[in-house]
Amino acid sequence: MQKLNITYNGDNFGISDALVFNNIVNDEYTNPIEDLSIKHDEFNDFIKSIELYNFTIYDFTSGKRVLKYYKSDKAMLIVSGTHSKTLFLDIYTKTLEDSEKIFKQYNKYSTDDESDGIFITNYFIENGSVQNSVERLEKSDYKANKLYYPYIKTDSMFNQFFGNQENILLLCGKPGTGKSKMVSLMFNYMIDNVEFLPNSKDKDEDLLIPDIAYVKNIEVLANDSWWKQISNRNYDLVVLDDLDFFLTSRNKEVQTHEDELKNKFLSQFLSFTDGIIKNNTKFVITTNQEYNDIDNALLRKGRLFDILELRTLNNDEAQNIWKDNNLDMDFPFTENQILQADLGSMIEKYNNKYVEIEKYLLEDNISKINNASKKVGF
C-alpha cells in the first residue's frame, strides 16, 4: 500500500505534532473527526461506553497539561487539555463504520453548551520549544465586576477597542488595582458580543466563541515560531500579562540575555502590529511599568488604542461594592484609598459560608503580612 509522506513545516506545525500525525497515517487511522470538546465527567462515561474497543492507554499528562492516547486495532483517540472542566478530543479510525459508532457515543455523552464561553490557549516553553494547552472557560470560571472601575465606562471602551483599527490596549498601575480583573471583564464583553469581534466573520456561525491566547513567559514572546503560530491562528485577543522590562526602550548595545530577548520581542511585536500585513488580532498588555519608560515605537498612533492607568478605590466607591454584595457586617476599611485586590479578598472571605470569620490572633504584631505587602509594592 502506498504511504502518504508528511513533511515538517515549522511555521505551521510543531515537530511533535508532525510525528504524531505521521504515525496515525502509517497505522492507517485515516478517518479523522477532530476538534471535539467534552467535559471531564462526560468523557469518563463516553470511554466506558466504547470499552469494547479494548483501548491501550498511553498517559503523558504532566502538571496542568493533560495528554492521553487511547489506541486499539480499530481506532485511536487523542485527549488533551488541562485539569479544568473541558477536554479536547480527536478521533481517528480505520473505517467509516467505526467513526460513526464512536461519534454517536460521543454525541450521547457530550453536552452542547458552546455558548457563554471562551477558548483560551496558554503558551509556555517545554523542552526548549513553544508548547500550548487549550481550555474552555465559562463565565462561572472567573469573576469580574464593573463596579471596581467606577471611573471607566468599560463596555463603551471595549466596544471602541474592538471596533477601531488600533490593536494595543495597555493597562498599567500599581499591583492590586485590578489589571487582571479588567481582562476578565473584557472576556465577559467578548462572550456577549462575539458576533462583533473583528475575526468573527472568519468563524463558523455555529461556533462563535472568542478565541484568546495568554502568554506570561518571556522566552515565548521572543520566540520566532510563536509569532508565526499566532499569525496563522487569527486570535481575537492575545493577553500579554505582567510585561515590565520587555516594554522599555530597546538597547542599541545588547549587554544581557534579557536585553536580547526584549529586543527580539519588540521587533516581532512591532512588525506584527504595524498594519503593513493586516490582521485583526487585538492585544491587551498588563504591566507595572511606568508608561513614560515604554519604547516610543509602541506609542505610535494607529497602533496603540490607549494607555489606562488604573487607580485605587476611594472609600465611598469601595463601600458601594461592599453593599452590592449584600454583606451584613460592618465595612472593614477606614482608609480613603483601598486596593481592589484587598477589597475583593475581604469580600471573598465573608462570602465563604464554610469559613468562620473570627479574629484568630491573640497577640498583636504576630502577623507580618502588611509589612511584607508594602515591601513588594502592594
pLDDT at 327: 84
pLDDT for the residue numbered 359: 72
Tell me the pLDDT of the chain averaged across its residues. Answer: 83
pLDDT of 2 > 70? The answer is: no
Most confident of 198-212, 216-230, 286-300: 216-230
d(CA 161, CA 340): 24
Residue 4 belongs to a domain:
no
Are 174 and 303 within one domain? yes
Judge whether 7 lies within some domain: no
φ and ψ of 209, to 5 deg = -125, 130
Distance CA 283, CA 236 (A): 9
The count of residues in the chain is 378
Helices assigned H by DSSP within the chain: 15-26, 40-49, 96-109, 154-163, 179-192, 218-221, 224-233, 257-272, 315-324, 340-351, 369-375
Last residue of a domain, one of 112, 144, 178: 112
Q: At residue 78, does pLDDT exceed 80? A: yes
Whether 99 and 125 map to the same domain: the answer is no
In a domain? residue 1: no
Let me know whether 135 and 253 are in one domain.
yes
What separation in angstroms does the CA of 348 have from each of 138, 263, 318? 20, 41, 14
Bridge partner residues of 294 (DSSP): 248
* Whole-number pLDDT of residue 16: 61
In contact, 211 and 177? CB cutoff 8 Å: no
The total of structural domains in the chain comes to 3
Give the domain extent around 353: 313-375
235/214 same-domain check: yes
Q: What SS3 state is found at 283?
A: strand
Q: Are 257 and 222 in contact (CB under 8 A)?
A: no
The band of 113, judged by pLDDT with boundaries at 50, 70 and 90, is: low
Rounded mean pLDDT, 10-29: 66
pLDDT, average across residues 192-212? 76
pLDDT in the model for residue 8: 45
What sign for the dihedral angle of Cα 28, 29, 31, 32? negative
Is residue 55 domain-shared with residue 140, that is, in the same domain?
Answer: no
164 & 88 share domain? no
Which range is most confident: 29-33, 304-308, 359-363? 304-308
Looking at the fold, whether 238 and 260 belong to one and the same domain comes out as yes
Residue 10 counted as domain residue: no
Question: Is there a domain that residue 3 lies in?
Answer: no
Evaluate if residue 242 carries a pLDDT over 50.
yes
Nearest by Cα to 346 from 354, 357, 337, 361: 357
Predicted confidence at residue 376, as pLDDT, reads: 46
- Measured from the Cβ of residue 256, the count of other Cβ atoms closer than 10 Å reads 9
- The cell numbers describing 29, all together, are 487511522
Q: Are residues 63 and 133 in the same domain?
A: no
Per-residue model confidence as pLDDT tens digits over 286-334: 998 887 878 888 877 778 899 999 999 999 999 999 999 888 788 999 9
Q: Do 103 and 22 lie in a common domain?
A: yes
**211/114 Cα distance (integer angstroms):** 12
Domain identity same for 264 and 136: yes
User: What pTM was computed for the model?
Assistant: 0.71
Output the pLDDT for position 262. 84
Question: Which helix (DSSP H) or strand (DSSP E) does residue 240 occupy?
Answer: strand 237-240
| Single residue among 67, 85, 112 that ends a domain in this structure | 112
User: What share of the chain has pLDDT > 90, as a percent?
Assistant: 36
Which whole number is the average pLDDT over 144-165?
Answer: 93
- By percentage, how much of the chain surpasses pLDDT 70? 83
3-state secondary structure of 36: strand
Most confident of 12-21, 120-129, 250-259: 120-129
